[in-house]
Structure 1
Amino acid sequence: MQSRTQIIATIGPASGTPEILDKLIAAGMDVARINFSHGTHETDGSYIKNIRAAAERAGKRIPIIQDLAGPRKTTDTGHAFDKSGSVITEKDISDLAFGIECKVDYIAQSYVGNAADIEAMHTEITKRGGNQKLIAKIERQEALDNFDTIAASADAIMVARGDLGQALPIEELPFVERDIIARTKRVGKPVIVATQMMLSMMHSDAPTRAEVTDVAYAVILSADAVMLSEESALGAHPVEVVTIMERIVTRAERENRENTFRPL
């Protein structure tokens, strides 16, 4: 039995071939994400083509999320929000135009701070003849401060725990995740929990016990979707990580029978 909670798998070099995509869909992938922080339009376009072909072979609808990079800067520990410019960068605009041309289903907007950022992206989508739905990534304090208006303006919410965990005292993150899920559910929008959910499976063929608990916790809190990033895009075991996540999610749903699921 397939879970009702959706599994979003990021597609990359480890998973973008027709053979692996067929296996990911069979294992339980419901939605495909492409991270436009990396790669080229040529490569990302090939992933989109392969995802659509695999979905057709499986007889399933697999929505595609285009995740825009946003204003990020490189730091000693990876990347962080760049406060010096606009929330929508020139790269975002170029990538957005490409995503609309490819008819992606969702745009994930990085480093949203307020409802005006959402409306500006909606305007850019409309200007280019698109009708894509917009996912607001919650990953900085300003977004938490303006959450209610952001949730009202966006079509879905993503708890982007990587940057969010750097913006908060780390011990607060589980409770902020809980609150974002609850507040999003109250306004009737889908909510996604993302980042490092099963990161050890980049190299290992099994998750840690803490990761199993983390995925189950998100489902028990009534998340509508859980997301894999590097684990499925770059990892050594993309099919296995989806298979195991599906097992965890299906089991956790038995503890939360009252959840009203809102699929992407």
Structure 2
Amino acid sequence: MNPSHYRHTKIIFTIGPATNSPEMLARMLSAGVDVCRLNMAHADHEWTRQAIENVRSACKVVGRKVALMMDVKGPEIRTGPLDEPFQLERDETFDFLLDRDQEPVSEGIRGVRINYPSLKEDVKVGDTILVDSGLLRMRVLEVTDERVRCSVRIGGELGSRRHINLPGVHVRLPALTDKDRGDIDVGIENGIDFFALSFVRSPDDLDILRRYIETRGSKAHIIAKIEDQSAISNLEDIIKASDGLMVARGDLGIEIPFETLPVVQRRAVYACQRMGKPAIVATHMLESMITNPLPTRAEITDISNAVYEQADCVMLSGETTVGKYPVECVDVMNRIIFSVEAQAERKNNDSLPLKTPKALLVKSAMLLSDELTNSGIVVFTRSGFLARVLSALRPRKSPIYAFTDDEDVFQNLLIYWGIEPFFMNFDEEPEVTIQNAFSRLKSRGWVETRDNMVVVSNVLAGSKVIDSIQLRTIS
């Protein structure tokens, strides 16, 4: 067994101007990324199609595949356009204007139009309104049909189309906008593997997206992004309704008290493990490396904490869209993950309920492999179920080599902790399939002669096909 290139925690990168060239994408793939994220908050359809084509071309050049995740922008509240930014002063009275025809200055009070007329129904006197990632803070003084009047508590520069957060407020925004549907259609046409839905507040939001993509024939999995207090209140139900969870710490850290963010992150990751769903930790992981070649010590610790928590993925955003050092960011993540995984005292996940005989079978395979030296687990799966259960059980030291003859399943398994998936046609004779898998592993340097392999597979018993666990030695 050659563990030097085996990493349990997966790396997601966001494609952008800094990484969209075929040459840079080839470098990113060679550095070891597992998933490419397209952020539709900053992408049009022509760019999206070209980016997907560039990624797939780079995959052919490098000889390895990555999954594609489309991050759907979702509904959001923003201020309107301004001719030029202006400075807001503490204790200034300021209006959010609900009618697009209103004048920006009324009764000597400055204001800005917003894209959400229902704000008057969602907020009340005393509520807090945050603008531009919380850099500007307002307290509501008065609510009318035409405006929401506030007192500026923390001032600063207000620019055009700034994002608005309403901490603790349940807003009446739709789960999908017209833009989202258009973006999703492009994603489906181009075979996107994952759709990440922004600002998920309840399982109903996910159901709307799932029905939309299923009616269009997509088998893509759905990742729920938790970004506000409503999502935290409905966390377990959201995880159940999703195929995975993203802890989107940007907006989430604004919407909830910032000191509770580490607690919420850990709770979300562990809840995913109890339900066998992948968890992604995202936002600001290597923010300083947008402009600097080395990470801060705090960023190193942040990534390490996600690895200790056994999150399935860590994610890069601005670092690889507009940053100066995208490949170096992947290298930093790799080094941290390898270091922590080599030293961490891992425990199996005993909180996962195993309700089927097959699930119990793969747990037995994991326990056997963990007791052996130079061992791994080989699993053959057409639906991905057995591999996903093995991942959720969190083997202490055994890599999971998952072989499937379904390309969609292969792509979806790329996001799961500890799984190295392989696409391979299965032979009618189970033994031929097993030997073909061993040959693939040896040829790529994943295993060596005399390594132990615990194989989860079907075997022929007379005319019957039965599930089995086999202990094999690579020859």
TM-score range, shorter chain: over 0.9
Distance 2:12 2:225 in 1: 15
Q: TM-score, normalised by structure 1?
A: 0.96
Given that 1:71 and 1:81 are in contact with CA atoms closer than 8 Å, whether structure 2 keeps it comes out as no
Distance 1:39 1:145 in 2: 31
Given that 1:108 and 1:136 are in contact with CA atoms closer than 8 Å, whether structure 2 keeps it comes out as yes
Larger mean CA deviation between 82-91 and 141-150 belongs to 82-91
Specify whether residues 196 and 256 from structure 1 end up closer, same or farther in structure 2 by C-alpha distance, changes over 3 A only. farther
1:210-231 CA-partner distances (Å, limit 9, x unpaired): 0000001001011000000000
Specify whether residues 256 and 51 from structure 1 end up closer, same or farther in structure 2 by C-alpha distance, changes over 3 A only. farther
Distance 2:183 2:321 in 1: 19
The one-letter code sitting in structure 2 at the alignment partner of 1:246 is N
Bigger proportion of residues as strand: 2
Given that 1:190 and 1:263 are in contact with CA atoms closer than 8 Å, whether structure 2 keeps it comes out as no
- Alignment equivalent of 1:247, drawn from 307, 325, 335: 335
**Residue equivalent to 2:78:** 74
Given that 1:222 and 1:256 are in contact with CA atoms closer than 8 Å, whether structure 2 keeps it comes out as no
**Residue equivalent to 1:22:** 26
**Bigger CA radius of gyration:** 2
- Alignment equivalent of 1:114, drawn from 199, 202, 217: 202
Give the deviation of 1:175 after TM superposition.
Answer: 0.9
Matches within 5 A, 1:1-264: 1-74=5-78, 76-78=131-133, 79-80=163-164, 83-254=171-342, 255-258=344-347, 260=394, 263-264=414-415
Bigger proportion of residues as helix: 1
Given that 1:9 and 1:227 are in contact with CA atoms closer than 8 Å, whether structure 2 keeps it comes out as yes
The one-letter code sitting in structure 2 at the alignment partner of 1:252 is V
**Residue equivalent to 2:466:** none
Distance 1:179 1:10 in 2: 25
Given that 1:88 and 1:121 are in contact with CA atoms closer than 8 Å, whether structure 2 keeps it comes out as yes
The one-letter code sitting in structure 1 at the alignment partner of 2:66 is I
Given that 2:11 and 2:313 are in contact with CA atoms closer than 8 Å, whether structure 1 keeps it comes out as yes
Distance 2:345 2:290 in 1: 29
Given that 1:7 and 1:227 are in contact with CA atoms closer than 8 Å, whether structure 2 keeps it comes out as yes
Given that 2:34 and 2:414 are in contact with CA atoms closer than 8 Å, whether structure 1 keeps it comes out as no
Distance 2:268 2:340 in 1: 19
Give the deviation of 1:81 after TM superposition.
Answer: 5.5
Distance 1:71 1:84 in 2: 10
Give the deviation of 1:158 after TM superposition.
Answer: 0.4
Distance 1:218 1:26 in 2: 23
Higher RCO (C-alpha under 8 Å, 6+ residues apart): 1
Distance 1:18 1:242 in 2: 17
Larger mean CA deviation between 72-81 and 180-189 belongs to 72-81
* C-alpha RMSD of matched pairs (Å): 1.5
The one-letter code sitting in structure 2 at the alignment partner of 1:171 is E
Q: Structure 1 regions of 5+ residues with no counterpart?
A: none
What SS does structure 1 have at the residue aligned with 2:41?
Answer: coil
Distance 1:51 1:132 in 2: 18
Q: Structure 2 regions of 5+ residues with no counterpart?
A: 80-130, 134-162, 349-393, 396-412, 416-475
What SS does structure 2 have at the residue aligned with 1:236?
Answer: coil
Distance 2:345 2:317 in 1: 25
Give the deviation of 1:263 after TM superposition.
Answer: 4.7
The one-letter code sitting in structure 2 at the alignment partner of 1:27 is A
What SS does structure 2 have at the residue aligned with 1:37?
Answer: helix
